[in-house]
Amino acid sequence: MKRFNYTGRKKILKQDIRIRLHGDFNEPPVVDFQVDLEGYDFQLDAEVFLEAWDVTRFMRFKVGKVSGSIRKNNIELYDFDDAENLSFNIKVVDINSGGVLLGIAEKVMPNDKDNLPDKNYKSILPVASTDLSSYGVLWRVEWHDENAVLQVESELGNREQVVRSNIFRAFIYPAAMRQILMKILSDGWDDQLEDPDDLSTRWLRFAEQLGAERPVPDSDNEEWLDTAIRLFMNKMDIREKIIDEFSEGGWN
């Protein structure tokens, strides 16, 4: 799957950007910002913008005209309570030509005050506690946007306790993973696997990471599915543990 960029907009690599939080991720954010634009050949009168956003909030700051390196410290993100899901876009805009976007970096995560990236890197399987009584089940996979979300019955208690339990790992993870992969196989996937925002790309890359090859288009891929699940369970290394537990009366 190809994306054709007709406007000549350039991508700014994340390695050229540094956004450092002054405090912890759970504090109202104040950031220092730096972008290194050497080598991008942007016109020098273009304006650079920093945009902070999360699911429901957005702030935009003009940080200066294009130059080799742009810095701005103590940017106070007063519309945000914390930096938990905060990310940034950096845009280089030609304001003399009606706002043509000359360059962009998207979804840049801030570093903490020690300049370390946020330790909480993202999972490809978000978890949510939900009232599932209307479904009559204790867990299910919910599909929305480009996400598959593992929903767990809220009455079971703390979701971390639930999804990290051995039973969940042994029985639910493989079933949920199979369900997700089957839907991807049925809906089709981007065989270039180059867009990490794409659900199929994330999960097929995950399967590749486990050691599975890519599925074959227009085939039932039953064998591929079994292989992917087997590789995943090998990695989880929980099968024998559960058998031991249950041989000691775990079903009782």
Partner 1 sequence: MKAEWKFERKRHSQKSRDPMQASFFTNASIDDDTHALVREAIQNSLDARVDEKQPVRVRFAIEEHSLASNVMSKYLNKEAWKHFNAADNGLIDPPTETDDCRYLVYEDFNTHGLIGDECASEPSPGNSFYYFMRAEGQSGKDEGDRGRHGIGKYVFPYTSGIRMFLAATVRHSDKRVMVAGQSVLKSHHVAGQQYTPDAWWGVFQKEGMDDYFQLPSEDPNTFSEIINDFDLKRSASDSGLSLIMPYVHKEVSGKKIAEHVASEYFWPILSGNLEVDISVGKKSWVVNGNSLTNKLDGLLGKSKSEELKPFIKLANRAILEDNLTRVDLSLNSKIGAPKWVDSYLAKNNSEKISRSISEAGGLVRIKCPLYVRKTKEKESESYFYIYILKDSEDKQYCTRFLREGIMIPDNRSSKVRGYISMVVVESGHLATLLGDSENPAHTEWEKNATKFKGKYSWGPSTIDFVRLSVSKVIKLLNQSDSEEDINLLSDIFYIDLPESDEDVPKTRKESKKPNNSGGDNNPGEPTHIPAPRPRTYRLNKHDNGFSLIGPENDFDGQREYTIRIAYDLVGASKSKALKKWHKNDFEIEKGRYVGKPILDNVDEFYCEGNLIKFSASTNEFSVVVDGFDPNRDLIVDVKSKGVLNEEV
Query: By CB under 8 A, is residue 157 in contact with partner 1?
Result: yes
**CB of residue 13 vs partner 1: minimum separation in angstroms?**
6
Q: Tell me how far apart the alpha carbons of residues 125 and 150 are, in angstroms, rounded to a whole number.
A: 6
Site for partner 1 in 91-110 (CB under 8 A): none
Q: Tell me how far apart the alpha carbons of residues 183 and 141 are, in angstroms, rounded to a whole number.
A: 11
Query: By CB under 8 A, is residue 237 in contact with partner 1?
Result: no
Closest listed residue to residue 166, CA positions, set 237, 82, 111:
237
Task: Give the binding range for partner 1 (CB under 8 A) out of 43-51, 59-67, 209-217, 242-250.
Answer: 209-217
Q: How many residues does the chain have?
A: 252
Contact with partner 1 (CB under 8 A) among 216, 226, 234, 246 = 216
- Measured at the CA of 184, the angle between CA 5 and CA 224, to 5 degrees, comes to 120
Q: Tell me how far apart the alpha carbons of residues 16 and 32 are, in angstroms, rounded to a whole number.
A: 14
Q: Tell me how far apart the alpha carbons of residues 155 and 171 are, in angstroms, rounded to a whole number.
A: 19
Query: By CB under 8 A, is residue 11 in contact with partner 1?
Result: yes
Query: By CB under 8 A, is residue 81 in contact with partner 1?
Result: no
- Look-up: residue for tokens 């450092």? 20
Look up residue 63 and give its amino acid: V
Contact with partner 1 (CB under 8 A) among 52, 92, 185, 198 = 198
Site for partner 1 in 162-181 (CB under 8 A): 163-165, 173, 177
Q: Tell me how far apart the alpha carbons of residues 56 and 146 are, in angstroms, rounded to a whole number.
A: 18
Query: By CB under 8 A, is residue 38 in contact with partner 1?
Result: yes
Query: By CB under 8 A, is residue 247 in contact with partner 1?
Result: no
Residue 212, number of CB atoms within 10 A of its CB: 20
Query: By CB under 8 A, is residue 149 in contact with partner 1?
Result: yes
Report the residue number, 32 or 198, with the smaller CB distance to partner 1. 198
Both tokens of residue 20?
Answer: 């450092």
Contact with partner 1 (CB under 8 A) among 69, 97, 117, 146 = 146
Q: Which residues contribute to the site for partner 1 (CB under 8 A)?
A: 1-7, 9-15, 26, 38-41, 84-85, 119-130, 145-147, 149-150, 154, 157-161, 163-165, 173, 177, 188-191, 194-202, 205-206, 209, 216-219, 236
